Structure 1
Amino acid sequence: MAGPLLDIARIYLEPAVEAHARGREILARFPAAERIPVASHWRIPELREADPGDYLRNKRDTLVLGVKKGLAFRPNGRSADFIAPSSSNGCAMACAYCYVARRKGHANPISVFVNIEEIAASIARHAARQGPKAEPNQVDPRDWVYDLGENGDLSVDALISDNVRDLVAAFRGIPNAKGSFATKWVNPGLLDYDPRGRTRIRMSLMPPAMAKLLDVRTSPVAERIVAIPELHRAGYEVHLNFSPVVLREGWEAEWGELFAELDDILPDAVKNQLAAEIIMLTHNEGLHEINLAWHPKAEEVLWRPDIQETKLSEGGGVNLRYRTGWKGRWLRRFQDLLAARMPYCRVRYAF
């Protein structure tokens, strides 16, 4: 039987953590966990050197607590207008294609930042400097949208602390901005956060058989779909994130069945505000080697040099993407299929 998503046995913490109320709250929530002081949440060699064959252990039983130092904002223009300073980093889940794992090269358990008041205040100041959004764009017609969970999954972070609740509350008071995060975890606790339409949740979906293979330690796709109307009734704006689109024989039939299920289950109130992102798979040579040690079956669909080409990333890593020309054709076929099955679902962004 599968164990719990989180069973925290050890907590690495920076010296300043206990000076923050949120840090003390989290430590009190896990009183039996071993506490291991570290100089920096970024530099914990034993996490980077863990046996890749035991890739999941650190995700389940390890937590890192730190103080967010940099509060910089980055323009985005895809999922959001801006990437906000993160309240966390890392994830308890283990999606085989995860770009965070690809970039960091190790299991990367959750790191939570305890200075949430500073993070929320920095977002409010940044939004105030932007003023009203002058023109609609593909991100949002009215509000500046801030991605809050670029390097993790906030639905899981909400199991650890009230950071996510605090961020949702903060956006209720920012008249020209929304928060946004993607998730693959169904957390009923989010339903009482009272977002009042000021937080967008992007529910990540793929065909169930593919998710069972690739979305390790996530909520089943059927549960994610059922949660969408509940989140909308609770006051969230809910969009879809079809990501990544992984090509294999029969992929169109699999996605067509998923679109039909969504069409059957989603109420009109959700359909009337629905939009989606579509992101084709990008894989990575380093992550391929890590996956071979703990989940080689995933590589049968992720590592496809016969239909992929290599491209150097900005950081010098070797990425694999579907071949130029063919990728565009497959993406158009995906969009045509979506338009035929779910014509009300606007595509905000496709890559």
Structure 2
Amino acid sequence: MTDFSKLKRYPIIKNDPLKAWDASDELVGEYLKTPKYCECKKLLLINDSFGALCKASESREIYCYSDSYVSKMAIEQNMPSTPNLLNDLNDLKGDYDLVVIKLPKNLSFLEDILIQLTRFLPKSTPLIFSGMIKHMANGHFDLINKYIGETSTSLAKKKARLIFANLEKEEAQSIYPLSISIPQWDIDLQNESNLFSREKLDIGTRFFLENIPRGDFKNILDLGCANGLIGLKAKQLNPSATIHFVDESYMAIKSARANYQNSFDDCAIYNWTNCYEDEDFSEVDLVLCNPPFHQGNTIGDFIAWQMFKNSFQKLQRGGKLIVIGNSHLRYNLKLKKIFGNCKIINQNKKFHILESTR
């Protein structure tokens, strides 16, 4: 059995109770040692969270695709011999003996991945899809049947299951990125498949757009930018400012770049990274932030905490952090602990918009 015990999540948190693998990763490790798969030498791994799939595939030629910067850093951290890492779905190509996919929560993202696979994988290529049973939806099976072929499943073990299929279908045409029109922006927005609320404007962002300030700002950070709409609005209100787009999703940065270039003639700065953790990143005088409260299927406030701390570190004296969040998340308590101050600048029945000054 593969030993996952030394794997660590990224970023490393002291006394972190969360493991860097789950029972579905263990099940993949078991099946890769069976006669059917032990001779598969060249593997494509997709959505490996923290390097567990790579660990289970050690000693083979590994290509690993992830949209997540956190996953990329975890794999580099946990694997002595780093596999071939890919972060753009369009870079997936070539022949593989086996494809292993950890099922994403986002069905549009899975659809995009499967469509891309039909464009280059030879017919009959075997695929294994892994996941915890509670996270497997009918939609996962429907998409695999639609784009890959007939499915079968393993027996359940520790509440995990594998789905098996061989590529039987013809090449499919991608519908991504989506082009959406919203009344809050004159130009259609390009949304890649792994964005939150990729088909419409979510209510939190709609409220946030109404509360972006004008001012003498030189550098504005859209932290956790998604498609970049908050940064676009900030640029419209503050045309002399430089906008910095940051997200841990490569597809988010790709969308933000396309939308900014379609909207403005000057240049912005784009960083694919975790929160705003790099010491070399520029200082800013305004941070706009809508923190996610989950990482994959893991829910928690640890991402918000790091975003707030990184903002404090990189804001110039007198600079402001403006945050939107569900009122029950009580971000004001965290901000007061870090900044020493926090005020509500607007609210409705669901959201608070908070401001802290460095």
- The TM-score normalised by the length of structure 1 is 0.32
User: Whose radius of gyration is greater, 1 or 2?
Assistant: 2
Q: Which has the higher helix share?
A: 1
Structure with larger RCO (C-alpha < 8 A, sep 6+): 1
